[in-house]
Amino acid sequence: MTSSSASVRRPPTAQAFVLEQMRQAIVAGDLMPGQALRQDALAKRFGVSRVPLREALSTLESEGQVVYEPHRGYKVARLSMDDLLEVYRIRELLEAEAARLAVERADDKVVEEMRQAAAQVNAAGEAGDLLTMTEANRRFHFVMVKAAQMPRLERLIQVLWDATDTYRFVYYGTPANRAVVRDEHELIIDAFVRRDAESLIDMLDLHRQHAIASLRGFLEAG
């Protein structure tokens, strides 16, 4: 996405704008793993000074999406099976707690919001629009996370998701995987409707495990 096309819904600060654009470029493969990030070129591309760009790069470094090398500067982090497993293990622990709380605290509106987000995931997947599918998938899962009403827990999970959107984009590249996502989202909704926390947690675990299994060959081959 170019800076001009994003200006319609440009975030309120230059740093937030650059951060959003950088994340999208990394997820979509416009900025490739291992690619050097030239700050002058990026500042020109996004129409900002180097100050908000450096702030955005610092945030991305803390998330593990970019790395800094002395005397060489920033580059996009390479995808790693060890990194994916670590992040998903931490997500497993935190999202289990979010699921239990959400089942207790959520009203029926949450179920409708999950269904709407799932429909957006499916529509984007059928159209082969992987970036939109990735964004809609995040909305689907964070409906539940927000329903837990634990803002600090939500922020922790958000950081983990920010660090692994690129992996999801790769996973969605296969039509068979997009079909798996569609079916598993339906099972997640069903467990939530029944207010069955343990079934919900089991489905979320299975959801992550299928992604890991699919990505393992790709990442280890790389």
pLDDT digits (tens, 9 = 90+) for 107-134: 989 999 999 999 999 999 999 999 999 9
pLDDT at residue 44 in the model: 93
**Matching fold, domains 3-76 and 81-221:** no
Q: In a 3-state reduction of DSSP, which class is residue 70?
A: coil
Give the alpha-carbon dihedral of 17, 22, 24, 29, to 10 degrees: 160
* The CATH classification of domain 3-76, taken from the options 3.10.129.10, 3.30.565.10, 1.10.10.10, 2.160.10.10: 1.10.10.10
Domains of the chain by residue range: 3-76, 81-221
Segment 61-79 shows an average pLDDT of 91
Residue 45 CB neighbours (<10 A): 17
Percent share of the chain, pLDDT over 70: 94
To the nearest whole number, what is the mean pLDDT of the chain? 91
H/E run at residue 87: helix 81-105
pLDDT level of residue 11 (50, 70, 90 thresholds) = low
Does pLDDT of 166 surpass 60? Answer: yes
pLDDT at residue 10 in the model: 55
pTM of the model: 0.83
* DSSP designation for 150: -
CATH 1.20.120.530 fits 81-221, yes or no: yes
Give the integer Cα–Cα distance in Å for 124 and 95: 25
